[in-house]
Structure 1
Amino acid sequence: MKVIQTNDMELNNELSVQLQQLLVASFPEIYPEERMYFKQVPHSRLLVMDAEHLLIGHVGLDYRTMNLNGTAIRVLGVDNTLTTVGIGDQVMDGLMMKQAGTVPWDEGELDFIGYLY
């Protein structure tokens, strides 16, 4: 197994086709069939390839700023996480999330300043 960090401009046609097929197969009810992103193109992608160079996993990475109770915070969002093998998750009210980093999750208002992940 091999993990490759890339962006859309670096994807060749073969990887683009594999990624599109995997995204649509993983989210058949909601994923657009005509593109490789949901609302916007991720800043970066992690692609997981098997020994035969077939795509078996994907993680989209979005880096952005959010407003947390009046304080600008930098956030790395993980989206379109999928695999042909199966993964675990934590779902809370329809959002899959996990705290990371040193900024505590306080109660209050969070302005996503743009699209949700």
Structure 2
Amino acid sequence: MIIKHVYDYNLDQSTYEQLHKLLIESFEIYPENRIYFKQIPHFRFIICNDNEKVLAQVGLDYRAMKLGDEVINVLGIIDLCVNKIYRNKGLGTKLVRKVLKFAETNSVDFVLLGTEIEEWYEKIGFIKVSNTFTWHAIHDRKLKSLGTRTRDIDRIMVKQTGKKKWNQDSVDFLGYLY
């Protein structure tokens, strides 16, 4: 098995189709006509076997955000998923560890994600945060801007990968919500 660092604009047709199938099978409400939910990830890590079969993937979004008055560099985890046949074999953990290593060596202050499986991420060192968040809302089916939203969200988790510390100040995503 190999972990590849890929960009959507360089995907061959076979990899694109495999990612599409994996995302559709992994998420109940995933759009059927693309391999992203609201925005194209900046890049992905994908795990392939020796036959180039895609076994798992994670999309990543790198951006500046505001935590209170401080600018922070954040790498957002998007759509982490593993082929059903290969679940519970450590592939998801392997991908997240790859993301964390990348973040620690590339001027990223925090890795951030939204999840409903908090316990799994806690085992890897993520903490649940309870800030007020502001973001640009996007209609996921129509890919239409819906304006700015601000509210508390209880499913956001972060892991510090740089020297800055997370606090309870408000967070401005300066873009869409993952």
Q: TM-score, normalised by structure 1?
A: 0.89
Q: Distance in 1 between matches of 2:15 and 2:173?
A: 31
Please say which of residues 85-94 and 53-62 is displaced more in the overlay: 85-94
SS at match of 1:89: helix
Gap regions ≥5 residues in structure 2: 93-119, 129-153
2:174 corresponds to? 113
Q: CA deviation at 1:96?
A: 4.5
2:45 corresponds to? 46
Q: CA deviation at 1:51?
A: 2.3
Does structure 1 residue 89 correspond to structure 2 residue 121? yes
1:10 corresponds to? 10
The aligned amino acid for 2:81 is L
1:56 corresponds to? 55
Q: CA deviation at 1:97?
A: 3.6
Q: Distance in 1 between matches of 2:24 and 2:161?
A: 29
The aligned amino acid for 2:164 is V
Identity of aligned residues (%): 39
2:76 corresponds to? 77
- The runs of at least 4 consecutive aligned structure 1 residues that moved more than 6 Å come to none
Q: Distance in 2 between matches of 1:96 and 1:24?
A: 24
Q: 1:11 to 1:59 in 2, by over 3 A?
A: same
Does structure 1 residue 31 correspond to structure 2 residue 92? no
Q: TM-score, normalised by structure 2?
A: 0.60
State the number of aligned residues.
Answer: 116
The aligned amino acid for 1:82 is C
Q: 1:99 to 1:42 in 2, by over 3 A?
A: same
Q: CA deviation at 1:7?
A: 0.5
Q: Distance in 1 between matches of 2:64 and 2:158?
A: 17
SS at match of 2:175: coil
SS at match of 1:79: strand
RMSD over aligned CA atoms reads 1.6
Q: Distance in 2 between matches of 1:37 and 1:12?
A: 16
The C-alpha deviation readout for 1:56-95, integer Å capped at 9, x for no partner, is: 0101111101011111111111111111224433484233
2:100 corresponds to? none
2:20 corresponds to? 20
Q: Distance in 2 between matches of 1:3 and 1:114?
A: 28
